Structure 1
Amino acid sequence: MAYNKVTEVDVAALTKIVGADRVIYPATVHYDHDQMKSVRSLPDVAVQPINDDEVAKIMAYANVHTIPVTVRGNATGLMGANVAIEHGIALDMIKMNQVLEYDPENLTITVQNGLRIRDINEYLADKRFIYVPAPAMKWATIGGNASTNAGGMRAVKYGTTRDYVRGIKVILADGTSLQLGGKTVKNSSGYDLKDLIVGSEGTLAVITELVLRLIPRPVITIDVLLPFDSVETAIKVVPKFLEAGIIPTGIEFFGSREIGYWEKYAEKQFVDHSGGGYLLLTFDGSNKDAVQADYERALEIAKNAGAKAPVLMNTADQAALVWEARNQLLTAIQATTPAMDEVDIVVPRSKIAAVLEQVHQIEETDQVRMPNFGHAGDGNLHIYICQDNYSAADFAVKVDIVIRKLYQVAKNIGGEMSGEHGIGYAREPYFAAFYGADRVALLDRIKDAFDPKHILNPDKVFPVKGETDRPNRPLELKN
């Protein structure tokens, strides 16, 4: 696809739409990367709308003039999905950050795209209801979470972001505004376009508003840290919980190596050093006796499977420290190396231990450090490939080799490429090899229907015909 570069004439037109104070031209380096910083590309201009009408006018103008548009929030993504590969316009949604309506009668809250998860939680802090999805990066925007269908640390019991989006307002590539879904609980009225756009990483439409489902605030919450001799031993307990009918709110796993990185990063001591691997379990609910019973049964199962003495979170400070460590593991690992890349494969829960064994084998055979942690309750592993002493060129080769191997492991075991971080730009070259030409062709037709000129977030998720060809695509993965 041949895109037009933004000119002074275009900047003047965009300024007329939003005002000079919300046009950044030329765009600053703030806009050329995401959290991982492994993909960099500078947009020509950044524009900060504050309402749907402005978004619609920007999109209509970009569509007429064939200017690519990349939607952006707080840039907490890891796969380059919000990086403007073809330059053009960065649509910075951070000023669209208002709570539009709180409706406890319908258990919903309506918010704008750029509102942070932290802000939603703070708004609801004194209310009877909560928004459940809990990604580690609380400064991520809700629009970004919806665009990748983020999961977080409560997905094992409550599900992912998609399960809590009742409705969305979107602006299509040509500026058309659509309301998809709303406050209704049920909908069997044709194709579910809302759920198609949630998780589409900004390639189909611009989400401007979201109607989010709320649930009653749990009466009781119990956190417990379970040390084991190894991560593999810890992981093998998870299917035993589920088989016994115990479904914790969250089941997180990490190892002593990762905790060591966090201690150095945070300059704090973790609450326990007895384990080589840990499970962090949360139980919640409205019936104290039922929650306590599940908790006690889980401890018994864990003890019989080799758990050491549990670390009970008896004080708010202790619980806060443990969750701080879990939430900061990514940034702690990032601080140990000049650069890193990440794979967040998701596999059947019963296969996590087997996958981790293969991860360790790859780490040894390919001589690359690969710290990891993740969501044991939903099978989502976060595996980090660290540059350390490799040159940038050698590391790029190493990353490609390791990613191919990890995706082959996931494919062989019935997994998927990503559990919550998305495909973006960084993993787009591997998509067709993993899922096959037939699926890519179908997705290509969907893209054409929503965005005929392919101006929305080009070069992302899967290889779209007519967009810039990227060489050196991986070989087919074996079935």
Structure 2
Amino acid sequence: MKYNELTAQDIEALHAFISDDERFITEPTEHWDHDQFKVVRAMPKLVIQPVTNEEVQNVVKYASDHKIPLVPRGNSTGLMGANLTIKGGISLDMVKMNQVLEYDPDSLTMTVQAGIRLRDLEGYLADKPFTYMPAPAMHWATIGGNVDTNAGGLKAVKYGVTREHIREIKVVLTDGKLYKFGAKAVKSASGYSLKDLIIGSEGTLGVVTEVTVRLVPRPKNSINAIIPFPTLNQAIKSVPAILASGVIPTTVEFMGRKVLDLWENYSNQEFPIKEGDGFIIVGLDAFTEAEIQAELQEILEVVKGLGAGEAVVLNAEDEKAKLIWKAREELLLAIQKSTPKMDEVDVCVPINKIPDVLNRIEELEKELNMRIPNFGHAGDGNLHIYLCSDDQSDEDYERNSHTVISELFKLTKELDGNMSGEHGIGYARKDFFDDFYGRDYTDMLRKVKSLFDPNGIINPDKIFPLEPKD
């Protein structure tokens, strides 16, 4: 696919759509050339920060008509390079479209602009009886970015991922029109769901500008049980039994002593539980104390026969509970701080197959003499696996990383899993997509892409190559 370079004439024409010079940045700084990992850098030629749907419509249509690549951007918390302007062109930075447009508790919905951060959305709802339930660890991520990657988070076991909490979106397509996909209504058996096609498309089909989210009554009671086990494998193997007990936890997370040691070094704090090398964190919520206590006792009875140590049970507002969740949410930053370079694989497998992946990781660590720390969502089979460069040369790290990624994708496919459970494919993993899912499947996705974006200008070269390998 051939693209046109931005010319002085293009700059002048695009500037006519954006009245504020501060939102029209012709000399971008390194703030716009990377994502959270900073492994690959790509500088845009122009940054535009829209504040209205109309501005987005004008810019997108102009870019498509003139075959100028354009990449929607949130708050740059992604890990797979989906926000990178690999082909140059325009970075459409959405962070100033950050307003609450409507709070409608009677319909259990709330409408916001796509650039609002999760933490600001949560802050708006803090004194209200309703909440937005998805809980990705990156609270400074934007809701538009969460929609584009179908972000998961800590509460997916009970409440599902982002997709289950989006009622309606407004999207600008390359014809410059603003489309409404979905509705405030709860149910639909009314044709193709284009809303669900956009969700998880990583900004490759259109630009999401508004999001109507589902609100849920805030549970009145919540507790956490941190359950230690002698080994991480024992901890993981308890999860199917917990879920088969009939209790649906809010959260089931796993982490091992190795990553907690990294967190202690990073945070200069001590993890409050010294027993065990593997941990399951089970979160429960309910509207009555009796219900939550009954569920807790059921889980504790299940794990008692599986080698568990004594569980530490804490109210969600307990300071020790907050410290434990702080540790869980900062594990990524702790691992990143421990090594010069880092990459990640976030495969998702059936929950009973997590030990297979952990065993293969241990083998790869020994085979390659490479540190591969990990943790993740035990309740839905989504592992976060990190590839640390440490003292390897750039060449060795690149070669070993490719080996690890290839081997983990190979195993994941054998286990009937998916390449990514949360973080997307982006730019970093696009070259593995054809092999993992097959040429016929990927060619069908290419047809969808060409229908929405005939000139291939919206976030090109992401998820899969626009043109297949021969």
Counterpart secondary structure, 2:107: coil
Gaps of 5+ in 2: none
Structure 1 counterpart of 2:456: 454
Residues 440 and 463 in structure 1, CA contact (< 8 A), matched pair in contact too: no
Counterpart secondary structure, 1:35: coil
Counterpart secondary structure, 1:54: helix
Letter in 2 for 1:410: T
Task: Decide which of 337, 345, 348 is 1:346's aligned counterpart.
Answer: 348
- Give 4+ residue runs of structure 1 displaced > 3 Å after superposition: none
Structure 1 counterpart of 2:108: 107
Structure 1 counterpart of 2:16: 16
**Could you tell me how far 1:397 is from its partner in structure 2?**
1.1
Superposed CA offset, 1:384-403 (max 9, x none): 00001111122111111110
Counterpart secondary structure, 1:211: strand
Gaps of 5+ in 1: 474-479
Structure 2 counterpart of 1:476: none
**Could you tell me how far 1:291 is from its partner in structure 2?**
1.6
Residues 79 and 423 in structure 1, CA contact (< 8 A), matched pair in contact too: yes
Q: How does 1:382-397 map to 2 (within 5 A)?
A: 382-397=384-399
Matched, 1:412 2:414: yes
**Could you tell me how far 1:145 is from its partner in structure 2?**
0.5
Counterpart secondary structure, 2:255: strand
Q: TM-score, normalised by structure 1?
A: 0.96
Counterpart secondary structure, 2:17: helix
How many Å separate the matches in 2 of 1:452 and 1:287? Answer: 54
Superposed CA offset, 1:357-390 (max 9, x none): 1111111112210000000000000000000111
Q: TM-score, normalised by structure 2?
A: 0.98
How many Å separate the matches in 2 of 1:21 and 1:7? Answer: 20
Counterpart secondary structure, 1:296: helix
Structure 1 counterpart of 2:445: 443
Counterpart secondary structure, 1:360: helix
**Could you tell me how far 1:230 is from its partner in structure 2?**
1.2
Superposed CA offset, 1:223-262 (max 9, x none): 1111111111000000001111111000010111101111
Structure 1 counterpart of 2:43: 42
Superposed CA offset, 1:37-61 (max 9, x none): 1121111011000010000000011
Worse overlay, 331-340 or 11-20? 11-20
**Could you tell me how far 1:12 is from its partner in structure 2?**
2.0
Structure 1 counterpart of 2:151: 150
Structure 2 counterpart of 1:84: 85
How many Å separate the matches in 2 of 1:97 and 1:131? Answer: 16
Task: Decide which of 317, 323, 335 is 2:319's aligned counterpart.
Answer: 317
**Could you tell me how far 1:312 is from its partner in structure 2?**
2.2
Letter in 2 for 1:357: N
Identity between Structure 1 and Structure 2 (%): 50
**Could you tell me how far 1:303 is from its partner in structure 2?**
2.0
Matched, 1:330 2:323: no
Counterpart secondary structure, 1:119: helix
Structure 1 counterpart of 2:246: 245
**Could you tell me how far 1:65 is from its partner in structure 2?**
1.1
How many Å separate the matches in 2 of 1:74 and 1:37? Answer: 14
Letter in 2 for 1:273: K
How many Å separate the matches in 2 of 1:159 and 1:366? Answer: 36
Structure 1 counterpart of 2:432: 430
How many Å separate the matches in 2 of 1:383 and 1:216? Answer: 34
**Could you tell me how far 1:289 is from its partner in structure 2?**
1.3
Worse overlay, 303-312 or 153-162? 303-312
Letter in 2 for 1:340: M
Letter in 2 for 1:393: E
Counterpart secondary structure, 1:109: strand
**Could you tell me how far 1:338 is from its partner in structure 2?**
0.4
Residues 134 and 152 in structure 1, CA contact (< 8 A), matched pair in contact too: yes
Counterpart secondary structure, 2:106: coil
Structure 2 counterpart of 1:280: 281
Structure 2 counterpart of 1:7: 7
How many Å separate the matches in 2 of 1:175 and 1:265? Answer: 47
Aligned residues: 468
How many Å separate the matches in 2 of 1:85 and 1:436? Answer: 25
Structure 2 counterpart of 1:381: 383
Letter in 2 for 1:2: K
